[in-house]
Structure 1
Amino acid sequence: MDPAAAFEHFYRSRHQHLLSKAETLTGSRDEGEELAAHAWAEIWSRWSEISRAERPGRILALALSAAAKQRADNRAAEQALLHWLGHLADDTLIDEPDTAAVVDARLATRRLPRGQRICMVLRYAFDWTPREVADLLGTSASTVTTQARSGVAEVHRLLTTGSLRQDPPRRTLTFVILGTRQPRLPARR
């Protein structure tokens, strides 16, 4: 049997059972279908090796578990971001984005030291593991975790204390934007 036909047979024989498990995990048919689709995509991407496995159904169950974990992690990161922006993190959609809050969050993030900013953004916005960030930066996972948490704490402090509203003088801001040093002015006589 060719690989596509073997996969089709496996899919037809296991899909309803997988969908039932996915619906149980999510509590929703729509979300269950999405979760099952992610699991099937993973199985298909590795079908040449999975088709030779002794228990491919077990691998399918593991793929579903991994998709559920990823979904939960994404939801947690999304809720954390909403919390940072001052919104209630309940599963309701925000009809109109709070542009000022997004701008404030970006400004606060830009004020972080480079290392904290990179760790925080990769960990929470892009959902990288501490090990993945550490490998990229050539540091330890515990350093990444510390830097990311410190970044979150500083962003929270900047957003809640109103520190972002204390803008530097325009001349200084211009030089910061241009990336040059501000020239020293001669002393007044």
Structure 2
Amino acid sequence: MLFDDASADFHGFFERHYAELARLAYLLTGEPDAADDLAADALLALRRRWDRLRAAEQPLAYARGVVANLARARIRSSVRGRRRVALFWSHRSKRVDGPDVAAVVDVRAALDRLPFRKRACVVLRYAFDLSERDTALALGVSVATVRSQTSKGIAELERMLGTRVAGELVADRRNR
């Protein structure tokens, strides 16, 4: 099967960014099974508009925004407040990869307790190393909102995890 230029271009975009979008979906929802579905749904939505989007300045920012919106919709429709946390813990995989399993579980649980916008800002800024501008583009908010929500999110993480642990997370990302 031969690809036209748009199909080949989209295929390249898919290959370069699918894993990142799935990881973003996982970090936003905490649901490993849903992450692939959300990334695929986002890319399907992009494919339908690819002729317009490939000419855009930041198609990846648009893709991240679609994933964030799909993740938000999934969270809102599945549960509210404490029920969401309970659902996550009862359905999550028991296996967690990483060098310090207890720390990973603590950070994951702390992220789950953050409101969606704060969580999205913290995840995009520190887990994905996006600039404030790129985070704002992905979430469709102002740079000032990103600054505010990130600051408040880090402050809440510090309260939950302790200043030293949260500070190490932020410092580790800044020193890369």
- Normalising TM by the smaller chain, what interval? 0.3 to 0.5
Specify the structure having the higher radius of gyration (Cα): 1
Q: Select the structure with the greater relative contact order (CA < 8 A; seq sep ≥ 6).
A: 2
Identify the structure with the greater helix proportion. Answer: 2
TM-score by length of 1: 0.39
